Chain A
Amino acid sequence: MRRLLYVVWLVAFGLGLWGVGERLVLGHRLAAYGSYVVWGLWVSVYIYLIGLSAGAFLLSSLVYVFRVERLERIGKLALFTAVVTLLTALLSIWFDLGHMERFYRVYTSPNFRSMMAWMIWLYTGYFLVLLGEAYLAFRPDLVRWSQEAGRSRLQRTVARWLTLGRTTLEGDVLERERKVLQVLATVGVPLAVAFHGGVGALFATVSAKMYWHQSIVPILFLTGALVSGGGLLTAVVAFAWPQRDGEYRELVSLLGRVLLLLVAVDVLLEWAEFSIPLWYGTSPEGHLLQVVLFGPYWWVFWVLHLGLGTLVPVVLLVLRPRDPAAVGWAGLLVAATFLSVRLNVVIPAQIEPALRGLERAFTGPRLVFSYVPSVHEWLVTLFVLATTAALLWLGARLLPLMDTEVAR
């Protein structure tokens, strides 16, 4: 099983590298997005991964802000997941830029009327807080690992480097650090809410697209982040936790119940999102919601999102709440299929011409109001996802992510 996963990863990463090579040499020529549908798979993957980051981070705040002791053991895992998914989210959106080499201009000449500029500056702040928090949360364990004989040489070296030379484990130093950590985590919560709400607002503020221009959109981004991030953490804990004792089963079952609650809230908001514009059938975005539900890609909503991503996990979580494997599968399904929700946010808004008849006005392969990601786009996305998986795997190998010895 493990060997099969390695092979799958190698193939995915190899294909992904090929896609990245194509992207760097040929620019946007192989991408299927064009001049009317300008945001496609890479933007969707970006908001998907950045949602995982915000969700994992907000869940870590249960540990570092609200001191929920029963979840204390997943605090570091959640922080590390948040760092990794944020980095690979940025990788995905970086490939999407028309001029990758100019990305730094969002810092050197920002326009603070732009919701995109706000989002970027907010997640930069969020990233710094996240790094600081991760350092403080990991340091005691890193110091211990760097000195433990039972660790491999690589583990000891990495741990020593990451302590940044600060090796003290004195009680009052740790106490002070824990206080700083709590302050950082507390600052991080509104920052994470603001930046991921900002990702939603980036879409919601665009009055040209009625499909996005809804107040509920930024809220849905936040619940979506919690659901998908919660699903991912649940899956990682259920499948990769080193000990399989009673405490492990308790932890997984608790995560399962949290996930069920989050899914329920998300479903409620989604019901509002769809039912209100569709009820009388006369709202400007109703037509596009109809396309999502009954258009050519109906299965993205019904099969991937509602079936595999909602119904199956809910059944698993309700019927087998104490079975770690069932809860793990529920989490994995929720997290993996959430990309379908992100695609259904990004694409449908762009498939309607701003003026009736524009679709026939001056045509060409890039002047169409439909979009299916090209093979090239999938390859680049494979690279991004394989990198995410590799970084998480490396973290689990080299860092005290799931170390049971929590510095108390």
Chain B
Amino acid sequence: MEGGERALATQTRESRSGRRRFLKTLGAGAATLLALEVLESTARPAEAAPAAPPAALPAERPQEDVLLRMQRDLQRALRKPAHLRRWAMVIDLRKCVGCSACTIACVAENKLPPGVVYRPVVDEEIGTYPHVTRRFLPRPCMQCDNPPCVPVCPVNATYKRADGIVAINYDQCIGCRYCIVACPYNARTFDAGEHYTDGTPGRSPVEEVPNFEYGKPWKREGDASPVGNARKCHFCLHRLEAGMLPECVTSCIGRATYFGDAEDPEALVSELMHRPNAVRLKEELGTKPRVYYLL
């Protein structure tokens, strides 16, 4: 437990200083009226450096893009102390068209190598020809409140954060893969050290730049972590703490994925996750997922 708590304390400290910076810049009144997506892309390179200033959002309008509402929800959540946030995701299966944009956006954001995937879209074919339909089910990590993957770790390398996210300490993980077999959603994968460009003359640039998982640059080189580790979706924690929504949310062309602070009754996710048609996967296992599906 100790290791997890220590990591938690560090993260809380980091996010506190991030919040101070956030409030300071807000007070200075730095404002820009660029569109949200543009803002996000300009903010991206600043991730390694001090946290980006929060996006100034256009005034609320009826019929506006839900991304704007979720961005407002996110900014409100980030103003709260870290331990009072409880991230949750809602996925509307009626809106998912199975384009897999979220899967690919996630691969790009986290520079995922072959064999590692955080958010595949499960593609189920129902019926027999010619009476066939397909059902799509995006499957991020469920960030379970009772996660089966956490207690199995022999070295405390994976832990549940106060904000609900199940995190991995790459530097602690010994690569035994017990957590991978323990996950009832197959949501963890193993980084075997491969590259998409293996067997070609060079590396693609995206394979050579670091990702910023857990707010730290990770360059995949040789056998250094995250190679040899279990890996999983973390709701793009590094983006959240820089004031950005998870990559799968912003990239969803059908706006089928919603994200926010479940402790905030005004947040869109709070509204949606309490709808009567909201379900969680494998509820019977008692894992208490933080991802809800609207049927």
Chain B residues with Cβ below 8 Å from A105 are 155, 172, 174
Given A109-B155, A207-B148, A355-B281, A99–B186 Cβ distance below 8 Å? no
Cβ contact within 8 Å between A36 and B186 = yes
| B165 close to A (CB within 8 Å) | no
B146 smallest CB distance to A (angstroms): 11
Instruction: Summarize A's interface: helix, strand, loop or mixed.
Output: loop
B225 smallest CB distance to A (angstroms): 7
| Cα of A349 to Cα of B181 in the assembled complex, Å | 9
Instruction: Name, among B123, B135, B229, the residue most crowded by chain A CB atoms within 10 Å (CB to CB).
Output: B123
Cβ contact within 8 Å between A354 and B185 = yes
Could you say which of B9-17, B62-70, B110-118, B256-264 contacts chain A? B110-118
Interface string of B184-196 (1 = CB under 8 A from A): 1110111111100
Q: Which of B115, B152, B186 contacts A353 (CB 8 A)?
A: B186
| Cα of A102 to Cα of B228 in the assembled complex, Å | 11
Chain B residues with Cβ below 8 Å from A38 are 177, 180-181, 190
Cβ contact within 8 Å between B184 and A207 = yes
Cβ contact within 8 Å between A27 and B228 = yes
Given A38-B177, A111-B1, A355–B154 Cβ distance below 8 Å? no
Chain B residues with Cβ below 8 Å from A97 are 174-176, 228
Cβ contact within 8 Å between A356 and B148 = no
Total interface residues on B, using CB and 8 Å? 55
Chain B residues with Cβ below 8 Å from A117 are 154-155
A46 smallest CB distance to B (angstroms): 11
Within 8 A of A (CB), among B161-184: 172-178, 180-184
Chain A residues with Cβ below 8 Å from B151 are 111, 113-114
Interface string of A87-112 (1 = CB under 8 A from B): 00000000011110011011001110
Total interface residues on A, using CB and 8 Å? 49
Cβ contact within 8 Å between B3 and A109 = yes
Chain A residues with Cβ below 8 Å from B124 are 356-357
A77 smallest CB distance to B (angstroms): 33
Q: Which of A26, A114, A355 contacts B152 (CB 8 A)?
A: A114
Closest to A93 in B: B176
Cβ contact within 8 Å between B189 and A35 = yes
| A375 close to B (CB within 8 Å) | no
Given A109-B2, A361-B123, A28–B174 Cβ distance below 8 Å? no
Closest to B139 in A: A355
| A29 close to B (CB within 8 Å) | yes
B194 smallest CB distance to A (angstroms): 6
* Chain B residues proximal to chain A, CB less than 8 Å: 1-3, 100, 103, 114-117, 120-125, 135, 137, 139, 148, 151-156, 172-178, 180-186, 188-194, 198, 223, 225, 227-230, 281, 285
* Chain A residues proximal to chain B, CB less than 8 Å: 26-29, 31, 33-36, 38-39, 96-99, 102-103, 105-106, 109-111, 113-117, 120, 202, 205-209, 349-350, 353-358, 360-362, 364-367
**Contacts A29-B192, A117-B155 known; 11 new A-B pairs at CB < 8 A:** A29-B194, A33-B190, A35-B115, A98-B175, A99-B228, A102-B172, A110-B154, A357-B124, A361-B123, A364-B115, A365-B115
Please name 7 pairs of A and B residues whose Cβ atoms are closer than 8 Å in the assembled complex, sorted by A.
A29-B193, A35-B116, A35-B189, A38-B181, A98-B177, A111-B154, A117-B154
